[in-house]
Amino acid sequence: MRKIVVTSGKGGVGKTTVVAELGRRLAEMGYKVVAVDGDVGLNNLDVVTAIDMRVVYDISDVVMGKCRPFQALVQDSQSSMRILPSSRDSTLLTAQAFGRVIDSLFEFDFVLIDCPAGIEQGFHRAVSCSNEAIVVTTPSISSIRDADKVIGLLSSYNMCDTALVVNRVRADMVAKGEMVGAKDVGALLHLPVIGVIPEDDMITTFQQLGSVPRGALSNKAYDLLASNVAKRSKIFCDIVYKRRWLKRR
């Protein structure tokens, strides 16, 4: 079982979307995947995956013994991935209790943990039970700076691997020098970039329905990200740059 925490220094960088879309691609590849919403109080993984109306139990119910872990799992609206919803109450959700729930999901190949943004208690709770980390950032200076702080904290945990996903990259702005390119972001943060996700209006338009059309610009990027995660590879492929290069030709 690979326990991967998906984290970010700054909120609003698309971390939850990355968790949902990465999980779906891994499930389509035949892996058993569960996505755990670790963002207590500000949870929205259930909304992004369109399962919010089907939630009966959440992670707090598991901790309190009201149900077994498998009873709280809800199948994603678009794939075989399962989701463990979060709770509005963090009183009983200590790092130890959270870790026990994660360890109980041993039947899955991948456990993707949607970590709260920032570096407060929720961050440490989610990270402490993981053995791999994916840091999500956008090319903005503030997001890169916050990601750097998170990476520094991750170094104090026993992670066997830490990698970077650069989200919401705009080819036109990179071409004009108005946005830092994904490769440069990786160099600044000293981490391998395993995913470069372009800015995609379809995500904003269709996400409220719990799915992104297969014709969306970001789909190829998520396929490449899932391939890197599944194979533990570090192949850098900036499809945003390739699209810009093809257009210029």
Q: What is the CA radius of gyration of the chain?
A: 17
**Where does 8-137 show beta strands of DSSP type E?**
33-37, 74-75, 82-84, 110-114, 132-137
The per-residue pLDDT for 90 is: 65
Residue tagged 């991967």 (tokens): 4
- Residue 248 C-alpha from the chain's centroid: 32
Question: What is the strand order of the sheet 74-75 is part of?
Answer: 74-75, 82-84, 33-37, 110-114, 2-7, 132-137, 161-169, 193-198
Q: Among 27-36, 40-49, 123-132, 216-225, name the most confident range.
A: 27-36
pLDDT tens per residue, range 173-186: 887 888 889 999 99
Structural domain that includes position 190: 2-248
pTM: 0.90
Task: Provide the sign of the torsion angle of the four alpha carbons 11, 17, 22, 27, taken in this order.
Answer: positive
CA nearest neighbour of 111 among 77, 78, 134: 134
pLDDT tens per residue, range 131-141: 999 999 999 99
Q: What is the CATH number of the domain that holds 85?
A: 3.40.50.300
User: Number of structural domains, the chain?
Assistant: 1
Cα–Cα distance between 48 and 5 in angstroms, integer?
18
CB 163 within 8 A of CB 235: no
At position 11, the amino acid (one-letter code) is G
